[in-house]
Structure 1
Amino acid sequence: MPSSVMSTPNDLRPPAAVSATGLRKSYGDRTVLDGIDLDIPAGSVFALLGPNGAGKTTTVKILSTLIAADGGQARVAGHDLAASPDRVRAAIGVTGQFSAVDGLITGEENMLLMADLHHLSRREGRRVTAGLLERFDLVDAAKKPAQSYSGGMKRRLDIAMTLVGNPRIIFLDEPTTGLDPRSRHNMWQIIRELVSGGVTVFLTTQYLDEADELADRIAVLNGGRIAAEGTAEELKRLVPGGHVRLRFSDPAAYRSATVALREVTGDDEALSLQIPSDGSQRELRSILDWLDSAGIEADELTVHTPDLDDVFFALTGSHRPNQPNQPEEAVR
């Protein structure tokens, strides 16, 4: 199994919002991060996947200055993590696995408290608060205690509070855990809007469809190391099982293709052939060119590629998806 996939040449990629080399972290005799490298372009969504205890939250805590790494170097928003932690903190926002919302005060009061922590004037704090409450559709609930909010509303308020300081980089650690499907999709839309506004999002998640839906690049963390990194499509091509399916309505065309093509699996009843393929443009063109040259016409061509579940299981040795309601870091 390859440990990585081809990356875009550095001179063609946007400047890095987050970069790290050889990050290490241990708790006692347990090595959580064993020298990981990261290079995350500005204005993108980067998703970090991994089983429970893989080190996802530890990575977020290090890059957001909450804990120190044991080794390695990192730059966040252009600032050295070790030398300029205050500048890093001024450029980032963090939404953890567990809500930072104070349920005993109103949503508006939570926002104004965050504005005070960012040293905004009272007038500016109220202006920013009003704008974010409207942006996140929380105006009607603004005067109500936050403990009365639904899970999705609390998560929206959590992110709104994170945006008070106008961060350029946002770390979202399991942002949709425990949300219903509609709230999850609403959160996805919020993330897309943030990125369209130039914000960089570092996302950890155990929902593989979430990473597939949102991330420009994905890294799979396992055993303290990055097992693979690339786009969702690049990662899917790392594991076997991809194929092209040809379906025929003409039995004669089906028989001709069956005889001529090698390494195919035929279904005589469905008049379909399955050809092993990684789904790449080159392979599809080769199959279509062969059909044209042989004078054989298929009625339907479909491409089947492994999904991120297959990638996750292959790279981590997992047998079942992790339960999203379990704490991610077993070592803390």
Structure 2
Amino acid sequence: MKNKKDVIIGETKGLLEVQATSQAVAETIVNISGESEGIAIAVAFASSFSAGSLTLIGFENQGIIKTCEKADTVKGIASGEASASAVASAAATAIAIANDTSSATAISSATAVAEAIADLTVVGIDNLGKIDTGEGKDIVMGKASVFAVAETFAESLALAFASTDKGEATAFANAVASATAHATATAIGIRGGEFNLGDGNDAVNAITAGDAVKIGIQDAYIYGGKGNDAVNVVVTGGGVNIGIQNVLIDGGKGNDTFNLQNGSGDIFGGKNEDLLILEGHFVDYKFYDSDRPFGVHITNADNGTDLFVSEVENFQFTGDSGITYAYMDLYSIG
């Protein structure tokens, strides 16, 4: 019996909503006659604090997964939205009425405070163990998308009214409303663990999108093995875009392609002709000598790139269309 290809797919989506509502009402009324004196003070304070966190994972591996010899697929897809809303309302009313020769004083103060915090993490593939795809043209894909929304509404109303005939009337009203909302979100395509791609022309694809912090691959070790393998990262949207973060990639044997966009980690091309692709232009980066074989330390302070690269023969930059730089072309080394 022939082995069939393995297809492992996990998908999830979710919504994190955090709300905080605060209302404070203070009211004083002084209405006196004759030659008397009256004073009334009302103070109201209300506060509301609400916080929530949520992690969504498309596919989670806590052990060892080993697929067969065919063209296998391991895929994790996760999407989520974080919403934080805060509403604060404060109303203060002070009424002082002095009849005849009386004295009336009314003081009213209201304060309302509301704060909401939402923290969402979305992960396509969360690998706590090892994924070994064996032989064949295999695909590992982690896809995560996230959006964050923060809304606030604050309303304050202060009303002071004083009335007198021959006496003295004083009215003072103060209302303060404060509302703050924070919605933070992080999308990670592939997180953690070890990936052994084995033999064959395999691909690891990490895709993240949204308007918050987005990371293609984080805290992972990828070994390409034999074959012309590819590690592709696509991070799009507003906010912070990080291609890889603390990642070790060993291409093994074959003409491998590392399309990483930006980020931090160690890249070993291995045997044969390998290609590293980064975003932007050649002139955006600084290249420093390294004691590794065919080694170079590549940095870019603007996009957070800090890569230690060795045994990679060719380099491309997405802003320099159609140009391939050989290792020896990195004239800024040293």
Q: Is this a same-fold pair by TM over 0.5?
A: no
TM-score under structure 1 length normalisation = 0.22
Which one has more relative contact order, counting CA pairs under 8 Å at least 6 apart? 1
TM-score (norm 2): 0.22
Q: Whose radius of gyration is greater, 1 or 2?
A: 2
**Which structure shows the bigger proportion of residues in helix conformation?**
1
